[in-house]
Structure 1
């Protein structure tokens, strides 16, 4: 999603219309009327960094002030009519002929240019007239302070000076309205005039009586207002059509983010070298764009947003805007000292994040439940599972993991902190769906035993446990206390699945183990070989399990063989009264133990913990000295802490030459605490004696 929404370097992305750029050659600055006509130009024109001068000169005035402005403009026109009296209308020389004429004449005469001469210079766009005009203004203030002119004369002269300043202001701010369109030298002239006027504003004292107050003129403030209006104009335009599949809000965010980034990069690269440092041109544009961007997002946030738009709003506010715009490679250094802040207040962001978390967790929960429902329907409909690399395969684990991962990734794409918050919430939902999975699987085991693909689907679900376990242990690195509720349903599911797969095999082995009776213990090898042969024939049935689960299944087979053998020994049907008989039985048991161990090792059982189970029992039966028997029993109890007095009594019952007191003494050894840990795996707790 982030790659799709990033507005820089999109595949096939054409440059945004109106991206700021210098023209191929310097163009003539348009007049006010031309500026008005250009308002209908392409909406993405980069010329509109600054709005029309009419808005700059008189911002935020009410209707009464507008009326006054109209009256004033008429008065200004009357003043200029004075300048044109007596001038030729026909045969007038061209601008090329008269360019520089008034200034050169003034220099030759050693005087300031006249008002008419300055007006002519300003109408021709000659910003050099700003210096003489400033001198003329100072001369007027000096005359007023000295009382060298009547009040009527002062008003008349000030009116002409202010009319000239109106022309100069229009020229200067007109150039700054489209700064990238102006030739660099021309732009430097306008900026020099603006800087000089700003200095004059700061230095100006209260005007003498007889003159209206005209300072400060605040042209720098007018320029900043123009920048703000340019930002509103640029960002306020409707986003371009296209971008199918995106919502209106997404297209708006993308348009504003790309426009702001491209415009600020142009300002930093092309305007900053020309502007005086004290103007803070990059900061001025950045603050204006940021303010309007924030206002637009605040307006969007007032509406009841869909889940997708809530997510995208947070992504822009918390991730894309601060990282891909403000801290982009070309802007990070330029904006380092500019405190733009967040696009939305912290309280509103928290509310939006809470809304996102709630809706995203609900969506994840619903999607996982739907995936489980579809999977259980396939089991019931006897649909064969897929085969992947020779193993039965189910997509359920992959589907649920993807759903969880996507929810996690969405939150992290906003902020890493939000990703941490949603992780704990998703763990709770994952534990719940795994418990539902366990129950659904148990229902399948009970109700669908006769289906053709029953065993294949059982193995597919056992194999699922590996994907879940790997994901939780490696991807999320979940702490053990949080991992237990997740692994418990999976372990139970695997255990029930093993039982289902081994049920028929163990049922076939039961009558074979029953052959170990009073008469058959004398020659038990043939019986055990037949048992092992049956097991070996059934092993291919489990080949479609993952190797780790096949090993666990072989361990379960190994455990079953040892357990059933001990059960037959513990039936109290065999009593041997002589040491020779006991030694002979011990030899048979030891041989059988070696046969079981060799076979189970070959088929892949990792259950080395079972290797002592039968040989040590054989040694207890072989030994005749009660003290030696006690040592073997004590050792045996450290290996198998669930070996109880009842189990010991059943084995000692075979030794018919022990007295009751000797049996009691041997049993008492189990009263001693050996310090053994509780067994992680059970053997004798699975064997009932009595």
Structure 2
């Protein structure tokens, strides 16, 4: 309303839809209720169109200074007046109702006692306007000196009560919730009155500006700081904790409990647009960050360092992502608890400790394996196969440490630096296997069989989990494992080839065409492979596949050596059938052993076709086809093969070799499969 001190009830701005007599009764009633000479909400010399108690814009500077800011263009939250100063229609109805059913007036002291701080504030503002609202002569103020002192004392008392209820923000009961709500409204009202005095060109009362917004800020800030500086002790999670870990835990739990209280209780005392939960979250974030900085400055042990980093990168972010808090708090605005310049040395300390732990663990695992071998012990058998737990134990350790480090430091690229020394550790494992092979003790064969299983496990992890390793370390480790597998295969296959040499020598000779040479070779192969029992199925398959390739290479080498001369079509047909049957025999045998090298049979069948064919163009087609599939096929190989056909002229051989040259020129040499480069021709 815009009631004037001179009592004019006829001006348009004052009518508010209430007859003059009714307005007079209303003014009188307000005087009785407030105990003052002017109606509640009265503003002497107020700015036209602006209520003395309406909501202003802008309260705090910075995040917390914006705590009480109203949306742009919005008036006060508690006043029912329109923008022109008149009461709204609903408020007029309430006024009429109050005149019909008068309430018992409250004194200032009663209002304080019942925690009706906003009404008490309104009463003080009305008294202030009566004394200071108009251009008051100094003599008049001297005449009311007692009233001014009384009003100043009442403001001081109200301020103390507001401060008291703010300090109870984390110990609110039902009544104090109402009190804090009223206190928040009071701060709004007093802030608006401060703003009004800024627009006046006369001397303000000594208590203006009252700056209760700053009082609120400082009180909340000191309250949060005090709670984080002296968090409640808790019996949760303290077993095995150091004193530093316990301090961090208690601060974190205090923050968690208080933020939940803010969201569930304190928030109800503030208007939604004040975003009080975010404001409190930022204060607690700053306090927690300050506490952690002080702890980090002490110089932490490895366990304390890891625990602090977990709070920074895991526990605290997870806490803010809980639905109850994430709906009220924007965690992205808060940022990290610690700056990068503090985090970096802590992360380096932690990662170094994890790397050292990995090295110590692998040292222990390899040391135990070497000691067992030195003691003559064989690896355990599982389902008939020799098994070593070296790879499993090391893989589990790597996987656990890297995943844990990723959580602690919040970055997989940093976490995998833990494995930066894995290549040197793999080389130590390779040296251990080389010693086992070199000394060849009674239990060495079983050790190598078990090692092949470990090599396979390591390779699978390196190939399928590249995120666990830096690329250069991963590449180096794979190379070491390849060398270890090659050494292990050689350990088993070299003695087997030595035993097969008597049968190898008869291949590609006249004896080979007239006697059951190949049958004896298959029998020898069967005896040799019986000693491979003890390998797991996948390792056996790899070893047998390599063995089949090496036997086929030796077969082709003996054939191309030229000990047999095929003078006519009949001998060439006989050689064709012999090579074809041998190819099928080898494939059947090795297939039974688990080999999947079907392509080796195709090579022998193609060579057999070249021996059988008499037409030059047909021979050219077979050679071109073979050269397309195997770019390592050379003119030496084709020349040696065609020399077996003594009826094949030098000119024909030259033509076929030219065909091969043309084919190889057009064929990519980047194909991975090779064969003939292993067939050495003198």
Query: Which of 408, 411, 422 is 2:402 aligned to?
Result: 408
Show structure 2 runs of 5+ residues with no match.
Answer: 1-101
**Post-superposition shift, 1:149?**
4.6
1 CA distance for matches of 2:386 and 2:284?
58
CA 1:339/1:207 → structure 2, altered by over 3 Å: closer, same or farther?
farther
2:330 is matched with which residue? 336
1:434 aligns with 2:422: no
Compute the displacement of 1:568 (Å): 2.9
Tell me whether 1:419 sits opposite 2:409 in the alignment.
Answer: no
The 1:132–1:687 alpha-carbon spacing in structure 2 relative to 1, beyond 3 Å, is closer
Residue 611 of structure 1 and its aligned partner are, at CA, apart by 1.0
Paired residues of 1:554 and 1:600 also in contact (CA < 8 A): yes
Q: Distance in 2 between matches of 1:615 and 1:336?
A: 73
Matched residue, 2:261: 266
Query: Which one of 528, 531, 548 corresponds to residue 538 of structure 2?
Result: 548
Distance 2:279 2:602 in 1: 83
Q: CA deviation at 1:390?
A: 4.3
Distance verdict in 2 for CA 1:136–1:367, change over 3 Å: same
The verdict on how the C-alpha distance between 1:587 and 1:140 changes in structure 2, with shifts beyond 3 A counting, is closer
Q: Give yes or no for contact 1:387–1:393 (8 Å, CA) kept in 2.
A: yes
1:370 is displaced (CA, Å) by 4.5
Contact residue 132 and residue 205 of structure 2 kept, 8 A: no
Match of 2:608 in 1: 618
CA displacement 1:62-90 (0-9 Å, x = unmatched): xxxxxxxxxxxxxxxxxxxxxxxxxxxxx
TM-score between the two structures when normalised by the length of structure 1: 0.72
Matched, 1:245 2:240: yes
| Per-residue CA distance 1:472-499 (angstroms, 9 max, x = gap) | 3333379998665443222222122112
1:488 paired residue number: 479
Q: Deviation per CA, 1:144-203, whole angstroms, max 9, x where unpaired? A: 92345574x655543333333333333332233224135144444444444333333332
Pairing 1:105-124 to 2, within 5 Å after superposition? none
Q: Which structure has the higher relative contact order (CA within 8 Å, separation 6+)?
A: 1
Instruction: Give the secondary structure class of the aligned counterpart of 1:160.
Output: helix
Does the Cα contact within 8 Å between 1:227 and 1:284 map onto a contact in 2? no
Q: Distance in 1 between matches of 2:660 and 2:217?
A: 93
Of 431, 438, 441, the match for 1:446: 438
Counterpart in 1 of 2:576?
586
Q: Report the CA distance between 1:462 and its aligned residue.
A: 1.2
1:215 aligns with 2:205: no
Displacement after TM superposition at 1:318 (Å): 3.4
Cα offset for 1:322? 3.3
Pick the aligned partner of 2:156 from 158, 162, 166. Answer: 166
CA deviation string 1:504-533 (max 9, x = no partner): 3222212232344855224343x3222222
Aligned to 1:200: 193
Q: Which stretch shows the higher mean deviation, 376-385 or 299-308? A: 376-385
**1:465 corresponds to which residue?**
455
**Do the aligned residues in 2 keep the contact of 1:141 with 1:207 (CA within 8 Å)?**
no
Cα pair 2:420 2:469 within 8 Å, conserved: no
1:345 maps to which of 328, 339, 345: 339
1:689 is matched with which residue?
Answer: 681
For the pair 1:141 / 2:135, whether they are aligned, the reply is no
**Structure 1 residues 150 and 178: CA distance shift in structure 2, 3 A:** closer
Cα distance change, pair 521–232 in 1 and its aligned pair in 2 (3 A): same
| Residue 16 of structure 2: aligned partner | none
Matching of residue 533 in structure 1 with residue 527 in structure 2? no
Rounded to whole Å, the distance in 1 between the matches of 2:676 and 2:279 is 82
Whole-Å separation in 2 of the counterparts to 1:484 and 1:337: 40
Listed as ranges, the matches of 1:75-114 within 5 Å are: none
1:589, distance to aligned residue in structure 2 (A): 2.7
- Matched residues in 2 for 1:200 and 1:280: separation? 23
- Contact kept? 2:115, 2:182, Cα under 8 Å: no
Measure, in 1, the Cα distance between the counterparts of 2:656 and 2:338. Answer: 80
Q: Tell me what 1:500 maps to.
A: 491
What pairs up with 1:622-633 in 2 under 5 angstroms?
622-626=612-616, 628-633=618-623
Q: Work out whether residues 435 and 489 of structure 1, in 8 Å CA contact, stay in contact via their aligned partners in 2.
A: yes
SS in 1 for 2:377: coil
* 8 Å Cα contact 1:524-1:588 kept in structure 2: no
Q: 1:283 touches 1:338 (CA, 8 Å); kept in 2?
A: no
- Partner Cα distance (1:124, 1:664) in 2: 117
Contact 1:368 1:433 in 2 (8 A): yes
Contact 2:388 2:454 in 1 (8 A): yes
Task: Please report how far the alpha carbon of residue 342 of structure 1 lies from its aligned counterpart in structure 2 after TM superposition.
Answer: 3.1
1:558 pairs with 2:548: yes
Q: Whole-Å Cα distance in 2 between the matches of residues 378 and 154 of structure 1?
A: 103
**Structure 2 SS opposite 1:392:** strand
Mean alpha-carbon deviation: is it higher for 626-635 or for 289-298? 626-635
Partner residue in 1 for 2:595: 605
**Residues of 1 paired with 2:296 and 2:478: CA distance?**
41
Instruction: Go from structure 1 to structure 2 and tell me whether the alpha carbon gap of 1:409 and 1:463 turns closer, same or farther (over 3 Å shift).
Output: same
* Residue 386 in structure 1 maps to residue 377 in structure 2: no
Q: Distance in 2 between matches of 1:121 and 1:676?
A: 100
SS in 2 for 1:521: helix
After TM superposition, the score normalised by the length of structure 2 is 0.73
1:610 is displaced (CA, Å) by 0.8
Pairs aligned (count): 571
Q: Does 1:310 align with 2:310?
A: no
* Residues 338 and 197 (structure 1), Cα distance of their counterparts in 2 relative to 1, 3 Å cut: farther
* Change in CA separation of 1:680 and 1:481 when aligned onto 2, cut-off 3 Å: farther
Deviations 1:343-398 (A, max 9, x none): 22344334544554455445445544554444344344433223345433222222
Aligned to 1:36: none
- CA-based RMSD of the aligned residues comes to 3.7
Mapped partners of 2:469, 2:649: distance in 1: 55
Residue 419 of structure 1 deviates from its aligned partner by: 0.8
Question: Is the contact between residue 123 and residue 167 of structure 1 (CA under 8 Å) also seen in structure 2?
Answer: no
Residues 122 and 450 (structure 1), Cα distance of their counterparts in 2 relative to 1, 3 Å cut: closer
